[in-house]
Structure formats: C-alpha cells, structure tokens
Amino acid sequence: MKETTYTVIIHLEETGWWLASVKELEGCHTQAANLRSVRERIREAMSLFVEDTASVRLKEVFV
C-alpha cells in the first residue's frame, strides 16, 4: 500500500496558541495550547477527511 504524505502548516500565534492546517485538505485545521496537542488534534481533524489517518505521513512546515 502506498503511503500518502500530507503537508501540515503549523504556526505559533502571538497569543501562545498553536494553529495547524493540512494544505491538501481544505477546511482541515485545529488549534491547541501546546505543540504536542496540536499534533494529536490535527490527526483527529484529518479523520473527517481521510479514512485511516494512522497510515499517513505528515510533513510539518513551521511558518
């Protein structure tokens, strides 16, 4: 099975909250108070768009 890679854009707001969005999935985004949580939550958000999020590779881009 071919592994699919998605690009996750991660940004730290001035308020201290982390924002993440998936470039290839319009409308797929989340926020959290720390980096670990935003990584977990973006996979949860992706589950609304992708059937098996455990098998995808995420390429993180910090902006």
The CATH number of the domain holding residue 10 is 3.30.2390.10
List, for residues 26-44, the tens digit of each pLDDT value.
999 999 999 999 999 999 9
Q: Do the strands 57-62 and 5-12 form a parallel or antiparallel pair, or are they unpaired? A: parallel
In which domain, by residue range, is 53 found?
5-62
**Confidence category of residue 46, pLDDT binned at 50, 70, 90:** very high
* Residue at token pair 């690009």: 7
Contact criterion met (CB below 8 Å) for 18 and 27 = no
Q: So what's the pLDDT on residue 45?
A: 97
Number of domains within the chain = 1
Question: Does residue 2 carry a pLDDT above 80?
Answer: no
